[in-house]
Amino acid sequence: MGDETVHDVLDGAHRATAVNMLMEEGAGDGTLMANVFHGIGDRELFQERALAINSVASLKLPRIGIWCTNAWQQSPWANRGLKLHQVFELAAQSRPRLTQTGLNKDEGVALITWGRETASDIQEKPGMLAQIFRTVDYAAPDLVRNARTPDPGTDARSVITPYRLEAVVGSFRDLEFYAAQRGVMRVITEGGLRARETQALVQAAARVLRPGMQEDEVYNMVRGLNLGMIRAPRRARVPRTETSPANAHNAGLQAELAQTRNTLAQSQQRVESLQAEVGRLERGIEAQVAAAEARFTLGLARERGQRTAAENSVTRLAAQIAEFEKLLAAVITRQGDAGKDTKTQSTNGHTSKESPTNGTIKPPWWHDDIFRGERRVLDALFKEGIGVDATSQQLGLPVGRVGDFISAALIKQSRLMRRTA
């Protein structure tokens, strides 16, 4: 890079430490075997880094933790309040929600792309990296560097294993608890605690430790806890006794019988659980059917009520029509008598004048312009005489709507009669 020479150490840093220790003891000449790549591009560098990370299984966690953390610190988002496990969780999603990042759309897309490319560079899935960094993000860096995954069959009593690191960091998170993490881990590794013992110790320590305590203070306090109360009970050794073939066969049968009984009990529990679920579903279906029947009955009653109201309106209107027609006939009769008197008086005065013709058939009263909206309903009911249901079907109107038209006609006719009177 310009006049500056950049060296990237991919692997072997722990070997340099080992060589220095040997030289201090007077062993070795300080020579290291190494592969040196000159002038390679970033992509080739990433590929070599992936090979280095995956070359030794026991060092996988610290290598991933250190390299990804360094890469994150050099990214544009290092100081934006995000943690690496959050980035990899979003990168693992097929449709990540960018609003969770607190960034704008372009920055959020770039961040998720960075997370996916970083995972690809070290040949890991983003989901796996998210799981690792839920611990690494909150752990003291030196504990991450010294963490090891023990090989099968090796003595791991004094090793900072991924499980121990996760158990400690789960109860003591962030910078203010780094000293607590170190002190508790010292007690665990020195005592060679097993998984259950580690969990019990961490829970007990979480009840007494406070933020800001020094490592030695934490170590002495946790070491002073009553580990006799914490340690998980070990299985008592049962002395082996010689048994005859017959006894061994009977013991085998007894074991098979016990296993069969256990399986039968589990099956019975499963059957009871399924029966309870079927009962719950049946009750739900019955409730839905009852609700549907209630809605249907309510709707039917409402429709019948509307039809009855419409029929009552027709009856009232018919009665009012009859009264109106009687009144109209009386008015016409009075007008006819007045006309006869006028004709008689005109004849005696030698004046000849024809009276109006009274034989013309007048249209129904609801053919007046003020009944224009209700005319087709009233025609069907009183001219055609087809009834409420037939009128509803013929005109495509609900029964209740037919009643509305009738009520409107009654109101208008009442007003008209008051004006005529």
CA distance 157 to 194: 8
pLDDT digits (tens, 9 = 90+) for 135-155: 999 999 999 999 998 888 788
Q: Number of helices (H) and strands (E) in the chain: give both, helices first.
A: 16, 0
Rg over CA atoms, the chain: 49
Res. 227: pLDDT tops 50: yes
If you average pLDDT over residues 273-289, what whole number do you get? 77
Q: Residue 391 is encoded by which pair of tokens? A: 């009128």
pLDDT digits (tens, 9 = 90+) for 6-47: 666 555 556 677 777 777 877 777 777 777 777 777 667 766
Q: Which of 83-87, 173-177, 275-279 has the lowest mean pLDDT?
A: 275-279
Counting Cβ atoms within 10 Å, is residue 400 exposed (0-12), middle (13-18) or buried (19+)?
A: middle
| Percent of the chain topping pLDDT 90 | 21
CA distance 239 to 249: 20
